[in-house]
Structure 1
């Protein structure tokens, strides 16, 4: 019955759209396999529970397992079944290709966030950094093709490293480990600075009551010194954080700023993490040579 309905809808769309194919209009793959039926139910009929059942059937049938497992986990997350999605990925990822493992890790990180599993999130982020350090990420290539909102774009190893460090910094923030978060954010900004991570760094400094340092970071955004400073969301957030600073420290903007004490930041913490991540490294990427000089750059 389902196959008949799918075929009927395809004919109706093709007949009323100048011959445009059904799967192109609805972003559904062509064919009549279990995975295609699952995508049809998900995207056209918009029945997530039925789609999950069909994705399971696709996985068991060995039909596009990489995509079926990932798509099923995403739908489960949308249905507040994140715990089930985590177990599904852990149980069936061995059936997926090597090329799919990185995207499955990204889905897992989102699921850990959804469930509040901070420790698991941190461990997986460390693992991803370890793979970059060992030259195993991106299948050994300097860039990879990513997709966001239906558009493809290239991501470099440097950009990916900074992104992962930013996520790690936010995870430490959730643990109220602001010292570790600051170190990670500063490392990320050395590699590929941007306004969003600068806002997070400013918030991290505020949590440590280091208001002068926070003000300096946030003003860099408003003065256009960072990549993404023209982004309205980042600028608005920076303005909100500065307003919060004014409320917390009324005299802050009329008094001389204090001198930044390098010893207040535990730079050894991330260095120790780096050693942990790379005990079994096969080769050292230039990015990690760059950020190892971070302490010297701040000291100048």
Structure 2
């Protein structure tokens, strides 16, 4: 290899390394310039202007709209971001609609638009029940912090129900929040949702039940029990329970699970075999929620 070729090769390697380090895509269009302003120059206002240019020019519109909404959220321009997503999502591909919904949910949450958040979460749950989510498949590929991973319908359903439960909590509708959290935990349990369910029960002055639920986290019976934030929150909730209810004693049956419940969960798990139809079997287990989800 001659000197010129080696120089060109080294220049290409350095350029590729630059894009990898700064997570800036290749090219010179408005979208690439917007990402450069956002990630390298740290100028969010300039990035928003360039994202608008990318959308108007049809340059990577899916990514430009999502990224612009995220930057607007960081600048507390949440209302503007909501209007942008709602107005221009029609320019985006069908495959981008799910992630745009997730962006909207985050924006609604930050702006305190609880009713809008609940309605969108219900719509996404209806799509899963009707087999319209994930293109009728039991899993989808998701991306977070530049890494790809697989998300199952069970995980997505439980996540959405968890978000719906928290939205009901913000409205002080603790009875509905409890129903939603319990269904979420039946589908795909974790320590974070258990803490939320425990808090929901505390709000209803059902302290013994709350104690059982939160102890499941501290005893390591749930996925995510070793997460520092979840464990710390569980410890704080237990201290709150004991401080407000000195007579509270640890029940002898800490599992709190009877045979019928365990058998029901086993049957639920067994239903998740090969994909057979558009009607996803998990919703047979949450049929009593259909009326609420449809309202």
TM-score w.r.t. the length of structure 2 is: 0.83
| 1:214-271: CA deviation from partner (whole Å, max 9, x where unpaired) | 00001111111111112222111111000000111111127999xx9xxxxxxxxxxx
Asked whether the equivalents of residues 34 and 47 of structure 2 are also in contact (C-alpha less than 8 Å), the reply is yes
More deviation in 183-192 or 21-30?
21-30
The separation in 2 between residues aligned to 1:215 and 1:159, in whole angstroms, is 25
Q: How does 1:234-245 map to 2 (within 5 A)?
A: 234-245=230-241
Unpaired segments ≥5 residues, structure 1 = 1-10, 261-281, 295-300
Q: Which residue of 1 aligns with 2:262?
A: none
Aligned length: 259
Asked whether the equivalents of residues 66 and 96 of structure 1 are also in contact (C-alpha less than 8 Å), the reply is yes
Unpaired segments ≥5 residues, structure 2 = 1-6, 257-276, 290-295
Deviation at 1:153, TM superposition (A): 1.0
Q: Is the partner of 1:113 in helix, strand or coil?
A: helix
Q: 1:29 to 1:200 in 2, by over 3 A?
A: same
Q: Which residue of 2 aligns with 1:60?
A: 56
2:145 maps to 1:163? no
2:69 maps to 1:73? yes
2:279 maps to 1:284? yes
Asked whether the equivalents of residues 136 and 278 of structure 2 are also in contact (C-alpha less than 8 Å), the reply is no
Q: Is the partner of 1:152 in helix, strand or coil?
A: strand
TM-score w.r.t. the length of structure 1 is: 0.82
The separation in 1 between residues aligned to 2:159 and 2:50, in whole angstroms, is 34
| 1:176-209: CA deviation from partner (whole Å, max 9, x where unpaired) | 0000000000000000011100000000000000
Q: Is the partner of 2:285 in helix, strand or coil?
A: helix
Asked whether the equivalents of residues 190 and 291 of structure 1 are also in contact (C-alpha less than 8 Å), the reply is no
The separation in 2 between residues aligned to 1:255 and 1:143, in whole angstroms, is 39
Deviation at 1:284, TM superposition (A): 2.6
Q: Which residue of 1 aligns with 2:227?
A: 231
Q: How does 1:62-141 map to 2 (within 5 A)?
A: 62-141=58-137
Q: 1:36 to 1:170 in 2, by over 3 A?
A: same
Q: Is the partner of 1:138 in helix, strand or coil?
A: helix
Asked whether the equivalents of residues 191 and 291 of structure 1 are also in contact (C-alpha less than 8 Å), the reply is no
The separation in 1 between residues aligned to 2:198 and 2:189, in whole angstroms, is 13
Q: Is the partner of 2:235 in helix, strand or coil?
A: helix
